[in-house]
Amino acid sequence: MRFGVHIPTCIEGMMYPVPFARPEDVLPTALLCERLGFDSVWGNDHMTTQRYVQREWPEPPNFYEPLVTFTWVAARTDETLLANLAPLEQRIGRDIHRRTVELLEVDERQSGVRELVQATLDLVRGLGLANTISDDAARRRRILDQWARTLDSQISRPETAEETP
């Protein structure tokens, strides 16, 4: 007989109280399951929060998209996958960073610019993941608008010929 364990992905508010599991709880749970000899871990998925859950809980539940969650767990527990993903992340990460510098038209030789570009990429990744978890577009729009104002105030861009008097 084989046994599997459900890791917390989309179960808050239905079977468990809100909040029940934080992102930092998922990996230790999966590792414990592996150490205890379970054959598999499972997850639950929902496109939106159910109405009865919305009515019952004042705060929205933490939903973690299963495929993203399982990939994240696998990348940290499967040595072969990690060995293949790390170089890919480095190559793609460098390329995305370079393209972002070009799109923002910034000079990384300026103090703090590299860190602001990296913070931009980290913010976008986080908001992208958040978008898979819940539909909170209005909040994310406000965050991005504020970040755009922050970038505009912190980064000076080279003047183009049209802007020069």
Q: Is the pLDDT of residue 161 over 50?
A: no
pLDDT digits (tens, 9 = 90+) for 9-29: 777 777 778 788 777 888 888
What mean pLDDT do residues 50-67 have?
A: 78
More confident residue, 142 or 57: 142
Do residues 151 and 120 touch, judged by C-beta distance below 8 A? Answer: yes
Indicate the angle between helix axes 113-133 and 137-154, nearest 10 degrees: 180
- Cα(53)–Cα(58) distance, rounded to whole angstroms? 9
Domain boundary among the residues 32, 54, 77 is at 77
Cα 130 to Cα 63, 65, 68, 69, 91, distances in angstroms = 9, 9, 11, 12, 24
Sign of the dihedral defined by the CA atoms of residues 24, 64, 132, 12, in that order: negative
Pair (95, 162) in one structural domain: yes
Pair (30, 96) in one structural domain: no
Q: Is the pLDDT of residue 134 over 70?
A: no
Q: Is the pLDDT of residue 160 over 80?
A: no
End-to-end alpha carbon distance in the chain: 79
More confident residue, 74 or 109: 109
Q: Is the pLDDT of residue 133 over 70?
A: no
Pair (95, 58) in one structural domain: no
Domain boundary among the residues 13, 42, 77 is at 77
- Whole-number pLDDT of residue 162: 54
Among the listed residues 59, 47, 51, 72, the one whose alpha carbon sits nearest the alpha carbon of residue 19: 59
pLDDT above 90 as % of the chain: 6
Q: Where are the alpha helices (DSSP H) in 9-162?
A: 23-35, 51-56, 66-77, 79-104, 113-133, 137-154
Pair (94, 163) in one structural domain: yes
Domain boundary among the residues 77, 105, 129 is at 77
Q: Provide the whole-model pTM.
A: 0.47
Q: Which amino acid is at 148?
A: A
* CA 156 to mean position of chain CA atoms: 28
Pair (39, 106) in one structural domain: no
The structural domain count of the chain equals 2
